[in-house]
Amino acid sequence: MSERSAPAARAGRVVLGRRVRVRVPGSSANLGPGYDALGLALGVHDEVAVTAVPAERGVRVAVEGSGAGRVGVGEDHLVVRALRAALRSAGADQPGLEVVCRNGVPHGRGVGSSAAAVVAGVAAAGALLEVPLADDVLLDVASALEGHPDNAAASLLGGLTLGWHEAPPSATAHGGRWRAVRVEPSPHLGVLLCVPGDELSTARARAMLPLQVPHADAAHTAGRAALLVEAVTRRPDLLLPATEDRLHQQQRAAAMPGSWALLMALRAAGHAAVVSGAGPSVLVLCPDDACAGAAARLAAATGGWRVLRPGIARTGAVVEELAGGPGAADG
């Protein structure tokens, strides 16, 4: 991951003793043709509580749920790294931190666990400051850490998001910024998430992609990505053709043969199935409950999959300030 300065923000001061809690949804990126651009927030959540303490007290991190015992519990924890990056963007001093993570977003399954942690960190940083950080700054810092805005935007804003990188105004200027817009998914749209037992590294999945693609494949994917926005927001009956992809899913099939087989079986049965993010989970976009039920039965019949119906998180990251003495951040 790369760290890059966000747009200039007013220098802030961390309020020592302030305790905040952030609830952040997971997400599914790409949705087939929307590679590195489209994200959909899912109804699985992480909750992170953070207390700002004097710097000499250092950092303490406790983790419950997904990733417990396998992720760092100090400065190397992703929430802490993201929080510190956001504070640097504000020109703020770095305090000591007490962090409690309750993770409901599965790790290594393509449902945005790293982005959820990053968004939790930057949102907590913004809330710990005397002058809060604006959403566009939070998005820019989070996307820079992630390297792309798809999952980060969905976790921050909720609903369906379209993200992009805006180049600097002139060739001699430096930087640029990450941006995103949120659009409201159709109220008739549901989601089904098929989660395998095995994990898949995002880095490994990305390494399988070719450096160049045929012009015809790029043109096909651009058209389908545009159609997908219409399908998700207003025309769920168009979901099956709108989720066709030629850029990344088949190219990574060898890394997740079970996922590819399930995806193809679901699509052959008329369900709009896609690889969720870099995989190996499979996401099905369902225009009604009957479709979701049929897809769930098919996925369950393959064996070895945990089939969830998380719903769409129409609200992104939510921050609340906690009151009380030491330990209040754990409540």
Query: Can you read off the two tokens belonging to residue 78?
Result: 């992703």
Q: Mind listing the pLDDT tens digit for each residue in 50-107? A: 999 999 999 999 999 988 887 778 899 999 999 999 999 999 999 999 999 999 999 9
The DSSP line for 287-316 is SSHHHHHHHHHHHHHHSSEEEE---B--S-
pLDDT band at 327 (very low <50, low <70, confident <90, very high): very low
Query: Can you read off the two tokens belonging to residue 291?
Result: 């479709």
Domains and CATH numbers, the chain: 19-167+314-326 (3.30.230.10), 190-308 (3.30.70.890)
Region of poorest pLDDT, from 53-67, 107-121, 185-199: 185-199
Residue 70 has a pLDDT of: 79
Of residues 220 and 176, more confidence is placed in 220
Query: Can you read off the two tokens belonging to residue 328?
Result: 């209040």
Residue 270 has a pLDDT of: 92
3-state secondary structure of 202: helix
Q: Mind listing the pLDDT tens digit for each residue in 6-43? A: 444 445 799 999 999 999 999 999 999 999 999 999 99
Residue 294 has a pLDDT of: 79
pLDDT band at 328 (very low <50, low <70, confident <90, very high): very low
Residue 68 has a pLDDT of: 82
Residue 256: CA count within 13 A, CB half-sphere:
34
Please say if the pLDDT value at position 5 is more than 60: no
Q: Are strands 59-65 and 96-103 parallel, antiparallel or unpaired?
A: parallel
Cβ atoms within 10 Å of 172's Cβ, excluding its own: 6
pLDDT band at 171 (very low <50, low <70, confident <90, very high): low
Residue 326 has a pLDDT of: 42
Q: Residues 214-228: what's their mean pLDDT? A: 95
Q: Please name which of 212, 263, 221, 266 lies closest in space to residue 244, comparing C-alpha atoms.
A: 221
Query: Can you read off the two tokens belonging to residue 287?
Result: 């225009």
Q: Are strands 19-30 and 96-103 parallel, antiparallel or unpaired?
A: unpaired
Query: Can you read off the two tokens belonging to residue 41?
Result: 């927030």
Cis peptide before 196 (omega within 30 of 0): no
Query: Is 133 in contact with 89 (CB distance < 8 Å)?
Result: yes
In order of 64, 79, 237, the CA distances from 316 in angstroms are 21, 17, 26
3-state secondary structure of 31: coil
Residue 9 has a pLDDT of: 42
Query: Can you read off the two tokens belonging to residue 146?
Result: 């992630």
Cβ atoms within 10 Å of 176's Cβ, excluding its own: 14
Longest dimension (CA), the chain: 61
Q: In the 8-state DSSP scheme, what is residue 236? A: G
3-state secondary structure of 83: helix
One-letter identity of residue 154? A
pTM above 0.85, yes or no: yes
Of residues 294 and 154, more confidence is placed in 154
Q: Mind listing the pLDDT tens digit for each residue in 247-302? A: 999 998 888 999 999 999 999 999 999 999 988 999 999 987 777 787 878 777 77
